[in-house]
Structure 1
């Protein structure tokens, strides 16, 4: 692999949802020792970094995204010694470790908020967003919670409302307060001093709110169904111009440490997303690009969004792509098992840093959750709309032993397993050269060997019907990628006999024939399909 670029440019990130990776203490919930126990699987994939969803002390009202201490470890996951051992084990294996930072809000049990709500004149009152009631006694603005209902919660003791973009138990911090900023930056330094390699910053675009507290306007084109919060645009409650100053300050914290990465969770259209790279590229290294999650599985649409994104990137801005995460339906459920293979080829051959979600390398699908097993507060607050995130968070399927090897026999996992776990698991797929797991391993190995795939330029060739064709070029070497996003067989004419097939989803050993419908990766031997 070429070393001419930062690790986060040439590398691949693998997301671990800690509750669902490996349980070692018999409580049915994954933990830090479990992640350490399974690091060899991560290494066998060939990825470069693991990103771990929140592991900090938390009441777990939103499963760790409600933090009560930014510089500790939640006992459910283990101890600080367990974290230190995990970090050391990752480093020994050449893996980077990225933590999930949640700076927009805390738990309502965080000492900061307990002080803030204790009285109007408490020194930490202004660490959160407090407002007097509207003239009618109701909420100060019409801002909505992403998890249903008003974004304002009334506090009887002090006679004011506090703002929460998510659960009422997740009050938003006031990022206009310099003391808040420094407190979060100090917590970042705590983990950076330990040796972590970066942060994925939760809901980065939410950090700063309108200082005039204006009502959000109605959405002129609200999506049918889905989250009721979408009936309003978040014009004044998110993506405010001042947020870029905050991101620049976060980046300055990171830049004091060598080879660290700042990743921002930002669900915005590409033309607004790219602003988070910052002026002179002094913002987030990788503002997460979720367009493949939200796009229809259509060759023309995907081609257009790739082109639009590439055009929108600032000069020198490095792209990135995401197919799945802990908040959205799994890729195999969205496009089907066969096309999940094509999706793997797409993710790992587009220009930019890919992020893989645990279990997608097995083709894991969403698991139906019985009503009495629902855990997600989103589903509980807004039931019946299919917004629950539990189906994509189910336990990793390791082998055919009890509980798929995730937990010991007799232990009930925190979420139910998929019905296919006895045959669809890491052990079984490792023995099958035609499995999804083998495809991922071969793809990643090829990407590491071919700088054209990891660092090369992207050039659109065509999108014709269900075919998506593009090339990647580096140091005079070009690789052509041909993807069939449909169910019908297509013949592709390649001038001059084409080139050698490097990898195919149709029996994907090197040099094998490509059986449609499937994607191909070809050596240079043609300039058009």
Structure 2
């Protein structure tokens, strides 16, 4: 039987360079990350997702890779990576890493060989055009920053394609040699112990745009089957987590009944969640959950509040997006790419712990596997003085000491400035202070994670949206192996009550609430405070 560990996992996303500096050079590293795994263990994390740590010119936070088989020297060595992997294993944590193979850095030896010699075997590893393409601005990913999707290279005397920035030329994934190299990269890191990959920009990876070929591409998704098959042969328990901002109608092509992507991020649901928070009603999120298809086979949705990029609201209507901007980022400097927000969760909710706790409880109650962005468990903010998405990638705030305890280096040497301003600065918000106090935000989130890990019904089972006659409440029922969990969330700033009209429920035992109470009769009144939440187990303990 396959090992479906991801069904009940808690994934924690880390930018290594921003997490913990062990040697005082101002940049986080693998030794520092290994030293801080106790914090993740205390939180209840079961899987660590690492943002790119490969050698890179670092023009795009490491997503511009110049060597897929190494560690950026500023983060340590392969030996340090292996030591970190062992430290994670000792704590029962798995590790997944970013697989960024839609593009490389323009400094990668493959691209340098490709541009320098038209007869090089690497020429066809990238997407070239001798003539200027008709529309060099079509499909821009970063409006307002990115100027084109094709750039002329004077050395090659040709145009190369790049879906992202011009220093990130696209790989030609229709080339069998490129696809074979991708499998080789995966095999290398699997041999070093990783449990899978978060696959970057999957729709761009599989779409053969700009490629001149005589052979029609029958099914671009077939590449995902190749990757899945290789992964299954090399390490059956490993997973593929797709970054794919796709519609629900497209999802079956990505899951393919378990033969392609193991998990897919639910971008549609994430955007409807924030629309619900902005409107203070559960209706948008409820409609999204009702429309979301159940992955066939062993697939799973990945759910999240914030990630390492902007909060992408591009799938909302202009009016809906405007509502979210007004609620969470009214200043134009808080917005980005004409579609999103470059703020952290705590800032968007004005540091209001009541609303933050409800949002986290909601995340953990949603059907799927929750993914947490580092620092959100203590309520970190952002630094809007940094460009673009860098605003949310600040050094982790460990203590009220200099640089937030992240590094002993002089301030000017830090990989990014530590947040030392306002109520969310490290003097007020840090892990050391919160872990010492049982009533802190961190401990509240850790309690929620514990409740989620002890509720496999949510990760493994099916979900039913219960109509309690109030659009401002979201009540979900999750069932698995004759066990059942009811979760309720109040999206408003007023107390709310509801009843469950279910003859099969004799008693409800509170597992997690913002206002502790004893057992409730199955037909009894359930009360939620303003922005309140409750998790209730039906008919006694789980069997």
Alignment TM-score, normalising by the size of structure 1: 0.84
1:382-439 Cα distance to aligned partner (Å, 9 max, x none): xxxxxx2122111111112221111116344313315331221112222333322112
Specify the alignment match of 2:251 in structure 1: 273
Specify the alignment match of 1:404 in structure 2: 404
CA distance in 1, matches of 2:230, 2:211: 29
Specify the alignment match of 1:72 in structure 2: 70
Specify the alignment match of 2:442 in structure 1: 437
Specify the alignment match of 1:142 in structure 2: 138
1:416 pairs with 2:421? no
- Give the deviation of 1:212 after TM superposition: 6.5
1:501 pairs with 2:510? yes
- Give the deviation of 1:5 after TM superposition: 5.8
Equivalences for residues 336-375 of structure 1 within 5 A: 336=350, 337=352, 338-369=354-385, 374=386
1:440-477 Cα distance to aligned partner (Å, 9 max, x none): 21112122223323323211003723211111112222
Per the alignment, do residues 506 and 360 of structure 1 end up closer, same or farther by CA in structure 2, a change over 3 Å counting?
farther
1:317 pairs with 2:325? no
CA distance in 1, matches of 2:518, 2:14: 28
1:479 pairs with 2:485? yes
Q: Of residues 235, 241, 263 in structure 2, which corresponds to 1:286?
A: 263
Per the alignment, do residues 34 and 509 of structure 1 end up closer, same or farther by CA in structure 2, a change over 3 Å counting?
farther
- Give the deviation of 1:4 after TM superposition: 9.3
Specify the alignment match of 2:19 in structure 1: 21
Name the SS for the 1:502 alignment partner: strand
* Conservation of the 8 A alpha-carbon contact between 2:208 and 2:220: no
- Give the deviation of 1:365 after TM superposition: 2.5
CA distance in 2, matches of 1:157, 1:451: 57
- Give the deviation of 1:331 after TM superposition: 2.5
Specify the alignment match of 1:393 in structure 2: 393
Specify the alignment match of 2:337 in structure 1: none
Specify the alignment match of 2:314 in structure 1: none
Per the alignment, do residues 122 and 141 of structure 1 end up closer, same or farther by CA in structure 2, a change over 3 Å counting?
farther
CA distance in 1, matches of 2:15, 2:252: 27
- Which stretch has the larger CA shift, 113-122 or 3-12? 3-12
Paired positions, count: 479
* Conservation of the 8 A alpha-carbon contact between 2:114 and 2:124: yes
- Give the deviation of 1:304 after TM superposition: 0.9
* Conservation of the 8 A alpha-carbon contact between 2:197 and 2:241: yes
Equivalences for residues 58-137 of structure 1 within 5 A: 58-134=56-132
Specify the alignment match of 2:286 in structure 1: 303
Per the alignment, do residues 202 and 210 of structure 1 end up closer, same or farther by CA in structure 2, a change over 3 Å counting?
closer
- Give the deviation of 1:501 after TM superposition: 2.0
**Structure 2: gaps of 5 or more residues:** 311-342, 521-525
CA distance in 2, matches of 1:508, 1:19: 43
Per the alignment, do residues 112 and 509 of structure 1 end up closer, same or farther by CA in structure 2, a change over 3 Å counting?
farther
CA distance in 1, matches of 2:240, 2:152: 35
CA distance in 2, matches of 1:319, 1:68: 31
- Give the deviation of 1:513 after TM superposition: 9.0
CA distance in 2, matches of 1:462, 1:513: 16
Name the SS for the 1:320 alignment partner: strand
1:501-521 Cα distance to aligned partner (Å, 9 max, x none): 211134799999964331111
Per the alignment, do residues 212 and 292 of structure 1 end up closer, same or farther by CA in structure 2, a change over 3 Å counting?
closer
- Which stretch has the larger CA shift, 143-152 or 49-58? 143-152
1:3-28 Cα distance to aligned partner (Å, 9 max, x none): 99611112111100112111122232
CA distance in 1, matches of 2:83, 2:297: 40
Alignment TM-score, normalising by the size of structure 2: 0.82
Q: Of residues 198, 215, 228 in structure 2, which corresponds to 1:251?
A: 228
CA distance in 1, matches of 2:409, 2:146: 38
Per the alignment, do residues 508 and 284 of structure 1 end up closer, same or farther by CA in structure 2, a change over 3 Å counting?
farther
1:520 pairs with 2:534? yes
Specify the alignment match of 2:239 in structure 1: 261
CA distance in 2, matches of 1:470, 1:418: 40
- Give the deviation of 1:124 after TM superposition: 0.9
* Conservation of the 8 A alpha-carbon contact between 2:495 and 2:527: no
Specify the alignment match of 1:227 in structure 2: none
* Conservation of the 8 A alpha-carbon contact between 2:466 and 2:476: yes
- Give the deviation of 1:315 after TM superposition: 5.1
